[in-house]
Structure 1
Amino acid sequence: MKVRGAPMIAIVGCLSVAVELRKENFDGIERFREFMNEKLSYLTTARPTAVNMSKSAKDLVKLVDNLIEEKHLLEKMKSRVLETIEQMLHDDITDNKQLSEFGAKHILSNSQSDKITILTHCNTGSLATAGYGTALGVVRALHETSNLEIAYCTETRPYNQGARLTAYEFVHDNIPSTLICDSMVGLLMDTKEVSG
């Protein structure tokens, strides 16, 4: 399985720990701590540039340390860690929607028009997050409020994330859009005001 996008890497990585954690029977609290540290450390080194994974790993290690310090029973600790990991999925969608609404309002408050033309680069949508998107979520929010004129996405060479992923998301969601090659951005700036 291939997973891309820093938010999604963290969620899938932590959910994989949850799957293994559910199956494990620990002979003591120290073994539980070792298990969590080993698994999270491995996931962090597997993709060190995905900062969300290292942040989530640090948060979970801190949670385990706090639960041990508070002298919780092992099953209670295991349950609490599982709840925290599962909550990550819900929180990512909620956070992305709030961020996107705020971003859309900010763009509209700084624009002289209620119809926005916007350019996005790379892929920051539902295929890189738990389901809504960050920067692409802002485009979605503008579209949902009928404030989007058109979205341009670049192909994003060399891996063509824009051409393969962002363009796909635009078509899937019926968002008015045009795919352009990366070097066309300058032409857009000459012909009309582009936000973003």
Structure 2
Amino acid sequence: MVVRGAPAIGISAAYGMVLAAKAAVDAGHSSACSKTMLVAVNAASELLAASRPTAVNLFWAIRRMNRVLEQLLPTLGEGSVQAAETFIKGFSAEAVAIHDEDLQNNLLMARHGAELISALAKDGQAQPIVTHCNTGSLATGGHGTALGVIRSLHEQQLVDLVYVDETRPWMQGARLTSWELQREGIPCALIVDSAAASMMARSPRQGWVIVGADRVAANGDVVNKIGTYGLAVQARYHGWKFMVVAPTSTFDPAVATGAEIEIEERPGSEIVQIGDSRFAAEGVRSINPVFDVTPAALIDYLVSERGVINRPRRDSIAELKLGVD
């Protein structure tokens, strides 16, 4: 949890594999043969892959780095200082490319999402917004997914107020999202997770729930931070629009539905205590899933760098031609 946010996890994995390659070179006194390099990087990628089972960007980035690894290994031969330097340069360039591409994709998604909301806004009215977890520059390559859309809306003076879910139990909304919004002067108010439905009911006009994603299944089901599913149900009941913003690196066409995705569970201690202070009854059982599955039927718009999908379905997602690698 030092690094969190699906895009940031993928980017960090790519850089982690580069660090493993550099360590192999350093251990070999500035050179490393192809066999030594393969063993070192494979060990690192296996360790990274085991760290988080749900966020698909992690596995996407590892596969992409492994493809480049296969291409570059023959250049190492038996190992020389010059060959090792060339290898590291090429391997590092791919990690930097993953990072840079995510930032550019963030900017595209922000534009697509903001243009849609702007077009649907009645008489240019500023919109009330609910968001969950943290989806800004701290969770991505530098601009944000859902928070990137909110930033672009703010630039157009289309944000009335952003209701920020605290996002139990790690409080990403309270600690991170509220900080990012305040830093940019975007009007926001922190609420407890269970207050979102009440805010929607009390709002003088219907607005938007805008969230990110950790994985999107082939049928459009979305896995995201626990609490997202509840927001989607509440949005549908209150007539608010529900938007998911995620780069195509978060889409997993190999998984048919959200039911097939492993949901990470974390220690129960996270929900029975804050810091070192326990507040729950001793011995009480706790269940702490980190994510939930929002059915595609509850999603009004799915935004990626390639555009906007209205009411995502298997066929509309297939049109993105993501492929299975």
Q: Report the Cα distance in structure 1 between the residues aligned to 2:128 and 2:61, rounded to whole angstroms.
A: 35
Structural mapping, 1:58-97, within 5 Å: 58-68=63-73, 71-73=74-76, 74-75=83-84, 76-97=86-107
Cα distance, 1:78 vs. partner?
3.1
Q: Give the one of 17, 29, 43 matched to 2:34.
A: 29
Classify the secondary structure of the residue corresponding to 1:79: helix
**2:20–2:41 contact (8 Å) kept in structure 1:** no
Does residue 49 (structure 1) correspond to residue 62 (structure 2)? The answer is no
Q: Deviations over 1:94-128 (max 9, x none)?
A: 11111111111112222324222211111111121
Q: Deviations over 1:162-191 (max 9, x none)?
A: 112111111111111111222222223223
Q: Report the Cα distance in structure 2 between the residues aligned to 1:187 and 1:46, rounded to whole angstroms.
A: 36
Q: Report the Cα distance in structure 2 between the residues aligned to 1:136 and 1:117, rounded to whole angstroms.
A: 14
Q: Give the one of 33, 37, 43 matched to 1:38.
A: 43
Cα distance change of structure 1 residues 149 and 61 upon mapping to structure 2, 3 Å threshold:
same
**1:188–1:194 contact (8 Å) kept in structure 2:** no
Classify the secondary structure of the residue corresponding to 1:103: helix
Q: Give the TM-score of the pair, scaled to structure 2.
A: 0.55
Q: Give the one of 99, 123, 140 matched to 2:151.
A: 140
Cα distance, 1:80 vs. partner?
1.4
The structure that is helix-richer by fraction is 1
Q: For 1:80, give the aligned amino acid.
A: G
Cα distance, 1:57 vs. partner?
0.4
Structure 1 unmatched ranges of 5 or more:
none
Structure 2 unmatched ranges of 5 or more:
77-82, 210-325
Classify the secondary structure of the residue corresponding to 1:127: helix
Structural mapping, 1:130-169, within 5 Å: 130-169=141-180
Q: Give the one of 103, 109, 114 matched to 1:104.
A: 114
With 168-177 and 145-154 compared, the bigger mean Cα shift is at 145-154
Q: Give the TM-score of the pair, scaled to structure 1.
A: 0.88
Does residue 193 (structure 1) correspond to residue 203 (structure 2)? The answer is no
Q: Deviations over 1:103-159 (max 9, x none)?
A: 111122223242222111111111211221111111111112222222111111222
The structure that is strand-richer by fraction is 2
Q: Report the Cα distance in structure 2 between the residues aligned to 1:77 and 1:153, rounded to whole angstroms.
A: 45
Give % identity: 33
**1:41–1:57 contact (8 Å) kept in structure 2:** no
